[in-house]
Amino acid sequence: MNVLLVGSGGREHAIAWKLAQSKGLSKLYTAPGNPGTAQCGQNVPIGSDDTDKLLDFARQNSVGLVVVGPEAPLAAGLVDVFEEAGIKAFGPSAAAAQLEADKAFAKQLMRSSSISTAESRIFDRFSDAKAYIASRDEPVVVKATGLAQGKGVFVCDDPADGILAAERIMVNRTFGSAGDRIVVEDKLLGEEASILAFVDGRNIYVMESSQDHKPIGDGDTGPNTGGMGAYSPAPVVTDELMNQITREVFVPLVDGMNRNDRPYRGVLYAGLMITGGGPRVLEFNVRFGDPETQPILARLKSDLLEVLLAVCDGTLDRVTLKWDPQPAVCVVMASGGYPADYEKGKPITGLEEARQLDNVIVFHAGTKEQDGSILTNGGRVLGVTALGKTIAGAKARAYEAVDKIKFEGAYCRRDIADKAVRTTSRK
């Protein structure tokens, strides 16, 4: 089968890397792709938002399955376009993708489905939001309701900072129309976990757990980013807790989407805070997480293409996934200045030396190829991923690979997976 993968980030390189191992794959195309996806198949110079060209390409190249990676084309209805044309597409419809594209909708659905989440209020006027936040004595979290590439969330221990965050979103329009409305919610305390599941509209298959690291700085300090690293599995998620999450989060969510005539098919991502009172939902995403996808797919031993087709066909109940018991750690190497302004076009060296290490995969995210050289081309540049017999071993191997890669202004957190190392060392 010919497959068209839409997207150009580290998530897409990880998906391409895994799809390239599938027995049923004939040809893999990635639009627009990056130098990493080019190693797995053929890149196609079509943007992920160019619906007409993507559809024409799929028809002309006998594409049997389209896999949509990023959230923006999902929210814009790219899956709907392909399905209407009779081409299988993996991912939710535009209506179902509102679960991520509109945090206010997600909050309302969680309430009606009795899914545990933070207490919140929704505002479409800054003056109202300001008055509410000013009345609070406790820390608040301020979120743009629309798509903001993971950067539209502000955790504010001082309500005064919450007012500034609301002003930045709603008045200064930092995130454009994504900030037309905001959600202001209570800050939850605990340890975060990311749980991803395949959903075919009826059946749910939960993947191995993971934990993302959103803030830019060590110790979870500084502004939020798209993600500075991740590891899988997350020791904080026990088998008992995973069963509870499936029962109390995924099942009612899928049921709620069906009740709202928005059947969910694709990958459903639940960002959770594991609190003293149990798991509570921070957010839902409607696609593979980035960078969680990198360590999760590094551990997947089953054929990814077969799973994606089962989701499209509604036969997920016939699938059994096998996982490498070894943990995996992904460290994101970012451009200096990210998540604010940064420069592009910096030459990257040491990629081959890093790849030669055992159990290391270097996933490209913000890179480009020019005259035979690999250059930086984004904020998050690489996702250096390693497997190990233990979390500590995987972390050590990942940072060993990171230290072989050089580019001007390169930055990474140095504490990825430390929480897991501490947890496992106490057992």
Burial of residue 415, with CB atoms counted within 10 A of its CB: 0-12 exposed, 13-18 middle, 19 or more buried: middle
Q: What value does the mean pLDDT take over residues 150-171?
A: 93
What average pLDDT does range 231-251 have in this prediction? 97
SS3 breakdown of the chain: % helix, strand, coil, rounded to 5?
35, 30, 35
Residue 399: pLDDT band (50, 70, 90) is very high
In the block, tokens 């890397």 appear at: 17
pLDDT value for 422 = 87
Residue type, 43: N
Give the span between the Cα atoms of 375 and 383, in whole angstroms: 15
Location of structure tokens 């909050």: 107
Looking up tokens 């993302």 gives: 212
Residues 253-288 have pLDDT tens digits of 999 999 999 999 999 999 999 999 999 999 999 999
The count of other CB atoms within 10 Å of the CB of residue 326 is 16
The pLDDT-based confidence of 424 (bands split at 50, 70, 90) is confident
Q: Within the chain, what is the greatest distance between any pair of CA atoms?
A: 60
Q: Tell whether the model's pLDDT for residue 353 goes beyond 70.
A: yes
List strand residue ranges (DSSP E) for 258-372, in order: 265-275, 278-285, 328-334, 360-364, 367-370
* Dihedrals phi, psi of 2, to nearest 5 degrees: -85, 135
Strand partners, 6: 31, 68
CB 166 within 8 A of CB 130: yes
Domains in the chain (CATH in brackets) are 2-91 (3.40.50.20), 125-180 (3.30.1490), 191-318 (3.30.470.20), 328-426 (3.90.600.10)
Q: What are the tens digits of pLDDT across the range 219-238?
A: 999 998 999 999 999 999 99
Model confidence band, residue 370 (pLDDT cutoffs 50, 70, 90): very high
CA distance readout (Å), 160 to 136, 156, 170, 258: 9, 8, 15, 40
Confidence class for position 427, pLDDT limits 50, 70, 90: low
Taking residues 28-43, report their average pLDDT. Answer: 98
**pTM recorded for the entire structure:** 0.94
Amino acid identity of residue 408, one-letter, is E
Angle CA 56–35–326, to nearest 5: 110
pLDDT of residue 151: 83
- Burial status of residue 239 (CB atoms within 10 A of its CB: 0-12, 13-18, 19 or more): exposed
Secondary structure of residue 187 in the 3-state scheme: coil
Cα–Cα dist 388/395, whole Å: 8
User: What CA–CA distance (Å, rounded) separates 173 from 186?
Assistant: 23
Average pLDDT over residues 348-352: 98
pLDDT > 70 in the chain, percent: 99
CA distance 344 to 326: 35
**296 token code pair:** 């999760």
Are 117 and 302 spatial neighbours (Cβ–Cβ below 8 Å)?
Answer: no
Grouping H, G, I as helix, E, B as strand and the rest as coil, residue 375 is strand
Q: How far is the C-alpha of 367 from the C-alpha of 358, rounded, in Å?
A: 23
Q: Which of 14, 152, 99 is nearest to 281 (CA)?
A: 99
Q: Rg for the chain (alpha carbons), in Å? A: 21
**3-state SS class at 20:** coil
